[in-house]
Chain A
């Protein structure tokens, strides 16, 4: 009996149309197709050319096209050993990155948690906090950056008519005040200065927090209220709930946000290294290839930083098991 049935089924299997999984896989490819096309036809040539340029001399021809001459690692060694400011800018940029990132991540987490709680005018506050993401980018950021008036305003003073002496004294916090406050505590000078700098650059930090805040908010929204309810029934305080529930549950978002912040910080045009590279691109003879060599080195460095940060953070990340 069995044999007969087997024979009957076997030829049918060959004729059978593609299974649902195969169909879905095909549909998936179609959905992703625009990206694949763009990546292969446009992005890959651009990337490969950029790497080639960093190893070459370039002459752009007037009738179209360009000529390349392979020069090996000359551009790279020029960038490190000959160029006066590159290594300094690199070190300064890295320092800035390390200072900025914890500040931005913690601030955005904090604000996201507050915006997630019930408070008077929550919708209005949320709308206000996302304004910088939309409006203070690109052009507007550029206008603001070299603007004497705004520098006065950022430091909290409304008096635009007054000169620079005024703005120096009207900062939100000054190092001396805080030092007096913490004089008897065993807090290092460096930490005090760090906090003061962070408070005074609050405008900048708020501007750069938008997307991170969105990601944290959505993460907080996805935590089931049942967990908080059972916590409060068991008598946990808000403080304990934060450390035992909220923080582990948003830890994947902390990882995502830290990486995003690193990427965002180092691709921003305000970044010292980026500004330096841009300057080299437009000012020096042969600066265009030199700048690609520089930016590839910079890119490698940042990839390394992202790798280290991701490796450290991913040991603390807690993933909720899903069924």
Chain B
């Protein structure tokens, strides 16, 4: 630049001037722009991040790929060492056997009814409770919220026995027990085992699996909504509930979808409650179809390794999560959005 001559200024017309000067060559300019430590650092960091994410994504996705591919393999493929991910003799017999012999559709229907009602109830109730905690100041709200956290901390397996007995003879505050002692009723409560009622009751009162977390998430989300919005609604003569249903609920669709997906999926794949409240004679749920179908039993024993048996069980797993995968494909953008908008602070 030192030996560059002073720029010449030419007057083109009345309102236009042109300046001529020696530009540094393109290569030098590019070098100055890109070959400095700052840019190099950024590029390296970008590549590092990208590769890391790619690697972890691979770790997450690979089991699913290999499960799907192994579900199409026939038993000979498991003995063949050269077969890795792509089956040599693809077959649908595993799927057929599971669907027909393990009565997949019956279990599917039962679980769908159970999970759908549970998820809708949980989502709505947690919304309601979360809004109550977020926007209203009343005496004891802090203590009540601590109780919500408490229900989240106490693991339900600690309460296994007493939960079982509570719903074996369901009773509210011992009222029915008194009738029993008076001889009016035969049993000291309503037997609710093998029905969907225990889970529905717990969902309707915000006590089911991880509902404390849902209430917490909803509360944080509603705290992020400015109070002015509701105040203007109140000024326009809308009541508290009308405001909630017409203004707040539409605003929180993303969070509602998130909570709904969590509750539905966790109920769908649940084993704890479905083995606690349902006996062998009760309605068939998805957790009981994970077994090797009779027509395949011989093959799994014959093929010496346990791999084929494992693959059959994996296929059961795939059949179970198919609806969840479809739902996730449609709902995942809501999860990300919903989380982005809830400013959670401790």
Q: Which residue numbers of A lie inside 8 Å of B, CB to CB? A: 21, 23-32, 34-39, 41-43, 45-47, 49-50, 53, 58, 60, 63-66, 111, 114-115, 117, 119-120, 123, 125-135, 137-144, 147-150, 153-154, 158-162, 202-203, 206, 211, 214-215, 217-219, 221-222, 238, 252-253, 255-256, 260, 263, 266-267, 269, 274, 277-278, 281, 288-289, 291-292, 295-296, 298-299, 302-303, 306, 317, 319-320
Q: Which residue of chain A is the closest to B335 with respect to CB atoms?
A: A130
19 A-B pairs (CB sep. < 8 Å): A24-B137, A28-B132, A34-B125, A38-B207, A41-B173, A41-B205, A64-B191, A66-B165, A123-B336, A134-B265, A134-B328, A138-B269, A139-B287, A140-B320, A143-B314, A149-B310, A158-B84, A255-B346, A299-B155
Task: From A139, A218, A306, give the contact of B271 (CB < 8 A).
Answer: A139
B2-10, B25-33, B47-55, B90-98: which lies at the interface: B47-55
Judge whether B60 and A134 touch: CB under 8 Å. Answer: no
Which residues of B have CB within 8 Å of A215?
344
Which residues of A have CB within 8 Å of B314?
143, 147, 149-150
Judge whether B63 and A150 touch: CB under 8 Å. Answer: yes
Judge whether B340 and A218 touch: CB under 8 Å. Answer: yes
Task: Answer whether A222 and B345 are a contact pair too, CB < 8 Å, given A140-B269, A159-B84.
Answer: yes
Judge whether B158 and A299 touch: CB under 8 Å. Answer: yes
Judge whether A269 and B206 touch: CB under 8 Å. Answer: no
Which residues of A have CB within 8 Å of B220?
218
Task: Answer whether A319 and B205 are a contact pair too, CB < 8 Å, given A28-B141, A140-B317, A206-B59.
Answer: no
Which residues of B have CB within 8 Å of A66?
165
A25 to B133, CA, bound (A): 11
B11-19, B145-153, B294-302: which lies at the interface: B145-153
CB of B108 within 8 Å of the partner chain? no
Which residues of A have CB within 8 Å of B132?
27-32
Judge whether B78 and A278 touch: CB under 8 Å. Answer: no
A277 to B157, CA, bound (A): 9
Judge whether B138 and A137 touch: CB under 8 Å. Answer: no
Known: A26-B138, A130-B335; 20 extra A-B contacts, CB below 8 A, are A34-B125, A35-B205, A36-B144, A45-B173, A64-B169, A127-B333, A128-B60, A134-B265, A134-B324, A139-B290, A143-B317, A160-B70, A160-B307, A203-B59, A218-B342, A222-B343, A222-B344, A252-B346, A266-B155, A299-B154
How far is the CB of B49 from the nearest CB of chain A, in Å? 5
Judge whether B270 and A47 touch: CB under 8 Å. Answer: no
Which residues of B have CB within 8 Å of A63?
186-187
Which residues of B have CB within 8 Å of A134?
261-262, 265, 324, 328
Task: From B137, B158, B166, B270, give the contact of A292 (CB < 8 A).
Answer: B158
Judge whether B324 and A135 touch: CB under 8 Å. Answer: yes
CB of B106 within 8 Å of the partner chain? no
Task: Answer whether A154 and B63 are a contact pair too, CB < 8 Å, given A34-B125, A119-B46, A125-B53.
Answer: yes
Judge whether A202 and B59 touch: CB under 8 Å. Answer: yes
Q: Which residue of chain A is the closest to B165 with respect to CB atoms?
A: A66
Judge whether A38 and B202 touch: CB under 8 Å. Answer: yes
CB of B325 within 8 Å of the partner chain? yes
Task: Answer whether A256 and B346 are a contact pair too, CB < 8 Å, given A35-B148, A135-B265, A206-B60.
Answer: yes
Task: Answer whether A295 and B157 are a contact pair too, CB < 8 Å, given A24-B136, A35-B205, A43-B151.
Answer: yes
Which residues of B have CB within 8 Å of A38?
202, 204-207
CB of B83 within 8 Å of the partner chain? yes
How far is the CB of B147 from the nearest CB of chain A, in Å? 6
A28 to B219, CA, bound (A): 13
Which residues of B have CB within 8 Å of A114?
49, 52-53
CB of B129 within 8 Å of the partner chain? yes
Complex interface bits, B102-131 against A, C-beta within 8 A gives 1, otherwise 0: 000000000000000000000001001101
